[in-house]
Structure 1
Amino acid sequence: MFFKDSEIKLGRVDDNTLRKVVAHGDGLMDTLVIFERGLKPDATIPFHKHVHVQTTYVLKGSFKFAIKYSDHTDVQEVHVGDSIYFPSNHEHGCIPLEDDSRLLDSFTPIREDFL
């Protein structure tokens, strides 16, 4: 199956975030996430969780990411070329540190709520 960028819609997630599903099938999904504005490093990280296993690859910019585990919260700054693994049902979140920062998120199973 082919996914042509010119045919894929970019949707608004919130006042600072855009997302497009760039490919999906057989239990795997890739999404491009664009953050229009960077935030201050001391901004509050919004946490969320889902049953999906997720990996994230930093395409552009830099981010402050956090993952909550049962006994601690791991917080790290990541840059272009860095990647992160998020286990199922672990709270996690990020803030962009630069304008026009971009992530490639992969999920299994597919995020039906994104389609």
Structure 2
Amino acid sequence: MFFKNESTEMGRVDDNTLRKVTAYGDGLMNAYIVFEKGLAPDSTIPFHHHVHVQTTYVLKGSFKFAIKYDDHTDIQEVHAGDGIYFPSDHEHGCIPLEDDSRLLDSFTPIREDFL
């Protein structure tokens, strides 16, 4: 199945975030995320979690990412070309550090809530 760029639209997630599902099927989904404005490095990272396993690839810009584990929270600054792996049900989150920062997220199984 082909997902042409013009066949799907960007949707607003919040005041600073746009998302487009780029492709999905048979348990795998990709989503393109754009953050319009960067935030101060000391901004609070909003955490969330989901049952999906997730990988993220930084396409453009830089981010501060955090992943909570049982005994610690791993916080890293990542830049274009870096990747992150998020285990299922681990709290995680990020803040963009530059305007127009962009990510490519992959999920398994697919995020029905994104469709």
Q: What's the TM-score bracket when you normalise by the shorter of the two chains?
A: over 0.9
Residue of structure 2 in register with 1:9 after alignment: 9
The alignment status of 1:40 with 2:40, answered yes or no, reads yes
Residues matched between the structures, number? 115
Q: Secondary structure at the match of 1:88?
A: coil
Q: Secondary structure at the match of 1:44?
A: coil
Q: Secondary structure at the match of 1:113?
A: helix
User: Sequence identity of aligned pairs in percent?
Assistant: 81
The amino acid across from 2:82 in the alignment is D
Q: What are the residue-to-residue correspondences of 1:5-84 with 2, within 5 Å?
A: 5-84=5-84
Q: Which runs of 5+ in 2 are unaligned?
A: none
* 2-structure distance, mates of 1:110, 1:9: 18
* 2-structure distance, mates of 1:59, 1:34: 10
* 2-structure distance, mates of 1:21, 1:106: 10
Give the deviation of 1:7 after TM superposition: 1.1
Give the deviation of 1:27 after TM superposition: 0.2
* 1-structure distance, mates of 2:68, 2:17: 22
* 1-structure distance, mates of 2:9, 2:80: 24
Give the deviation of 1:100 after TM superposition: 0.3
Runs of 4+ in structure 1 displaced over 2 angstroms?
none
Please report the TM-score for the alignment, with normalisation by the length of structure 1: 1.00
Please report the TM-score for the alignment, with normalisation by the length of structure 2: 1.00
The amino acid across from 2:106 in the alignment is S
The alignment status of 1:111 with 2:114, answered yes or no, reads no
Q: Secondary structure at the match of 1:50?
A: coil
* 1-structure distance, mates of 2:101, 2:16: 11
RMSD: 0.3
Give the deviation of 1:82 after TM superposition: 0.2
Q: Which runs of 5+ in 1 are unaligned?
A: none
